[in-house]
């Protein structure tokens, strides 16, 4: 079965491209032959039922699957035309360019300031205290957290509320000035108000970074994304403009999923 790509997709400026990507955990095939172009200027959502492989595929985009010893990737993934699985590529540089936000907020057990300063420090992006202060402030402002935490930058990042922690993690990712931000169900551990704030933030970041978001919530995909890919049983079933996927899906399985027949 081949992925159905909507014919009206006219994205020419793909930031990342996957060609015939398959992922194995040991003998088990978790992702089967996925090809997709991720646009520079839009938010792309991956939707699908649990266990369909959308998170696995997301993690191949910054090679986080490398940390799982049994995982193996076939096919080609490029960032600005450069193969990210090439042996010549420095995975550390790749992850600085393709940032990631996780399902559960995972601030380091350090101060708010140190959480943000972590990336710039290890990559040598800021020289001296003033520059570092500026990066921290800029990142927190972009993540919409500055006003809430500017008076307690030395407090522990883990002392913040769940929603604030997640925005801290987004600010942390922004601090190294990535080109792509991957978000793996960033709101699944948050209450509706915190979720709304994150969605608002994604809207603001849209355009500045290429954003890929995995989500369980179809409403969320409809609200924040312009492109949607539907995954099912390790395959990418359908890919198109979000409005088309939700109103005129070409595939029966997509239709069934978005109307709530399964998943």
| 213 close to 45: Cβ distance less than 8 angstroms | yes
Give the separation between CA 17 and CA 78, rounded to whole angstroms.
Answer: 5
28 CB neighbour count, 10 Å cutoff: 9
x-or-dash pattern for other proteins, window 156-175, by CB under 8 A? x-x----------x--xx--
**Host H or E run for residue 51:** none
Q: What is residue 229's three-state secondary structure?
A: strand
| Number of residues forming the site for other proteins (CB under 8 A) | 28
Which of 52, 153, 174, 176 is in the footprint of other proteins by CB under 8 A?
176
Provide, rounded to whole angstroms, the least separation between the CB of residue 94 and other proteins: 8
| 30 close to 236: Cβ distance less than 8 angstroms | no
User: 57 is written with which tokens?
Assistant: 């595929």
Which 93-122 residues touch other proteins, going by CB under 8 A? 93-96, 99-100, 102, 104, 106-110, 118-119, 122
Q: Find where tokens 């600085």 sit.
A: 96
Provide, rounded to whole angstroms, the least separation between the CB of residue 93 and other proteins: 7
Beta bridge partners of 83: 78
Does the protein bind other proteins through residue 31 (CB under 8 A)?
no
Provide, rounded to whole angstroms, the least separation between the CB of residue 212 and other proteins: 13
Among candidate residues 91, 89, 70, the one with its CA nearest the CA of residue 27: 70
x-or-dash pattern for other proteins, window 73-92, by CB under 8 A? -------------------x
Binding positions for other proteins, rule: CB under 8 A: 62, 64, 67, 69, 92-96, 99-100, 102, 104, 106-110, 118-119, 122-123, 156, 158, 169, 172-173, 176
């Amino acid at each position: 079965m081949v992925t159905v790509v909507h014919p009206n997709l006219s994205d020419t400026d793909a930031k990342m491209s996957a060609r015939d990507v398959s992922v194995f955990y040991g003998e088990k095939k978790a992702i089967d032959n996925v090809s997709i172009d991720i646009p520079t200027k839009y938010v792309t959502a991956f939707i699908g039922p649990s266990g369909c492989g959308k998170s696995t595929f997301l993690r191949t985009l910054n090679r986080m699957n490398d940390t799982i010893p049994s995982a193996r990737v076939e096919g080609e993934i490029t960032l600005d035309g450069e193969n990210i699985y090439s042996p010549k590529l420095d995975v550390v540089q790749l992850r600085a360019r393709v940032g990631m936000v996780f399902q559960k907020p995972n601030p380091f057990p350090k101060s708010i300031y140190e959480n943000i300063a972590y990336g710039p420090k290890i990559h040598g992006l800021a020289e001296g205290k003033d520059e570092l202060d500026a990066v921290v402030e800029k990142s927190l402002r972009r993540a919409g957290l500055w006003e809430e935490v500017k008076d307690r930058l030395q407090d522990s990042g883990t002392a913040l509320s769940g929603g604030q922690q997640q925005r801290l993690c987004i600010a942390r990712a922004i601090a190294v000035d990535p080109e792509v931000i991957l978000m793996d169900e960033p709101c699944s551990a948050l209450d509706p108000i915190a979720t709304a704030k994150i969605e608002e933030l994604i809207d603001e970041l849209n355009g500045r970074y290429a954003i890929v978001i995995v989500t369980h919530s179809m409403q969320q995909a409809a609200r924040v994304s312009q492109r949607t890919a539907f995954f099912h049983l390790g395959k990418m079933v359908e890919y198109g403009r979000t409005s088309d996927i939700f109103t005129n899906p070409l595939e029966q399985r997509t239709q069934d999923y978005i109307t709530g027949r399964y998943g």
